[in-house]
Amino acid sequence: MPAVPPAAPDAVLVVDFGAQYAQLIARRVREARVYSEIVPSTMPVAEMLAKNPKAIILSGGPSSVYAEGAPTLDREIFEAGVPVFGMCYGFQLMATTLGGAVDDNGAREYGRTPLSVSKAGSTLFEGTPVEQSVWMSHGDACSAAPEGFTVTASTDVVPVAAFENDEKKLYGVQYHPEVMHSTHGQQVLEHFLYRGAGIEPDWTTHNVVEEQIAAIQAQVGTKRAICGLSGGVDSAVAAALVQKAIGDQLTCVYVDHGLMRKGETEQVEKDFVAATGVQLKVVDAQERFLNALAGVSDPEEKRKIIGREFIRVFEQAQVEIVAEAGAEGEDVAFLVQGTLYPDVVESGGGTGTANIKSHHNVGGLPDDIEFELVEPLRQLFKDEVRMVGQELGLPEEIVQRQPFPGPGLGIRIVGEVTKERLDLLRDADAIAREELTAAGLDRDIWQCPVVLLADVRSVGVQGDGRTYGHPIVLRPVSSEDAMTADWTRMPYDVLAKISTRITNEVADVNRVVLDVTSKPPGTIEWE
């Protein structure tokens, strides 16, 4: 999945019409071992075709095809000989563009819907049941397929819920095959890729590593790079990948900014260096970060401060690394970061999406950065990053770690960040992680942020006396890629043990609460 250059040839393009599931479609294509990229619907068709795509998928979207200003595409996309698969809005756009009929006839369907397959042996539905459950989300409905298309499925209220044109390799379904609620959706998607588009499923983790190594070598050349290690999966895999590509030209810098979890520094110094053999420079910058964050409570401001200070520390590390090596300053020209695709999307760097938050690896960097960024994971999802880490031989303790944000515990303290509050949160977080591991839940829970409501106090009773302490929030979530998430239904006895230990062992905490909000509407992190 090359990040340099950002676009790979012969990809399956997912055209995003503002769908909440566009990223999920790209993931599902990749799960079928076919490389995919997301492009905005505003991209001219000529530019899409210039990428030499193996196929094109048109996503769903919130608009009606008849609404003023609704996104559209030139007819050329359906006449270029490239296989096209329309989903939901993309299906209706294909229908209307090619002469079919889409009506606002009140045939609205939302959620699980029974689908009847009328041509069981078709390209899309071969080997799937005649009756199956699919996930619908539409107001308008297709009442007539374009000329040359065969209707292959319907519902009780929609006469044309799927159509196919094998001669022109054009296919469409009214529902969302990419979501797990469509029981045979992945099979239908793979039928389009393998049978309709004739694509071989040969995109593997091994290929990803080889392609990225070549891309990194082409970008960096004979110059040198530094990489900031955070202790998390993303930076570790990015560093290991760059180390494999350029060897001793890479120096890793671990900034001990005082915002890490308990035992984090020791793990980076011991486990990661042992696994990769990288050159590691540890910088003690705790006082610097605490001074910069003093009096700051706004989460966006905290993120930007942490991002700015990281770069300043890296710049100083560059000077020291050059001095130690006896090289010229300009030789250290690159900064390696573990930016992932969800980071890019949530920072407003995807396909026109809103900026949800400034990310330490994306939106929090200062404008006067002196390094050129190397981001080998920029187009990957978290589970793909873990697979790359395994391919590179990183130990399970690193590859399977729960995600941890770049700004660290600084954004898990709601309020001002102080050393006392960090120590308190570190102790509570360590207890939660210990108990989750002891209960064997590490693989069942995607992430469990532990949050300190520093500016909130609640009344409690401890030791027969009244207390006025801080609440701690547990935020266990399940997810595939952090784009969406649901709160994890943890066993009550595990929750009880965590709560009891935290209130007993962590000073100034007298209450533990559970966050049961999904994403959306809430983000995984509180700040």
Indicate which residues carry an active-site annotation. Answer: 88, 176, 178
Q: Pairing between strand 250-256 and 279-284?
A: parallel
Residue 403 to residue 210: CA distance in whole angstroms:
25
**How close are the terminal C-alpha atoms of the chain, in Å?**
30
Question: Cα-flanking dihedrals φ and ψ of residue 120, to 5°?
Answer: -60, -25
Element (H, E) at 188: helix 185-191
List of residues 6+ apart from 224 with CB closer than 8 A: 249, 250, 251, 321, 327, 331, 332, 333, 334
Q: Residue 14's beta-bridge partner residues?
A: 38, 57
Of 368, 347, 391, the closest CA to residue 523 belongs to: 347
Residue 97 to residue 78: CA distance in whole angstroms:
9
Q: Pairing between strand 509-514 and 486-487?
A: unpaired
| Percent helix, percent strand, percent coil in the chain, to nearest 5 | 35, 20, 45
Q: Which residue in the block uniquely carries the two structure tokens 């559970």?
A: 514
Can you list the positions of beta strands (E) in 285-420? Answer: 332-336, 372-374
What DSSP string describes 454-494? TT--EEEEETTEEEEEEEEEE--EE-SSSSSBEE----HHH
Q: Which residue in the block uniquely carries the two structure tokens 């050129």?
A: 372
Q: Which residue in the block uniquely carries the two structure tokens 């990229």?
A: 37
Element (H, E) at 233: helix 233-246
List of residues 6+ apart from 303 with CB closer than 8 A: 357, 358, 359, 360, 363, 364, 407, 410, 411, 527
DSSP at 331: G
| Token duo for residue 514 | 């559970």
DSSP at 355: -
Residue 315 to residue 311: CA distance in whole angstroms:
6
Residue 121 to residue 127: CA distance in whole angstroms:
7
- Residues 377, 386: contact at Cβ < 8 Å? no
- Residues 59, 22: contact at Cβ < 8 Å? yes
Q: Count the neighbouring beta carbons within 10 Å of the beta carbon of residue 488.
A: 20
Q: Is 85 left (phi over 0), alpha (psi -120 to 50) or beta?
A: beta
Of 481, 460, 473, the closest CA to residue 525 belongs to: 473
Residue 63 to residue 57: CA distance in whole angstroms:
17
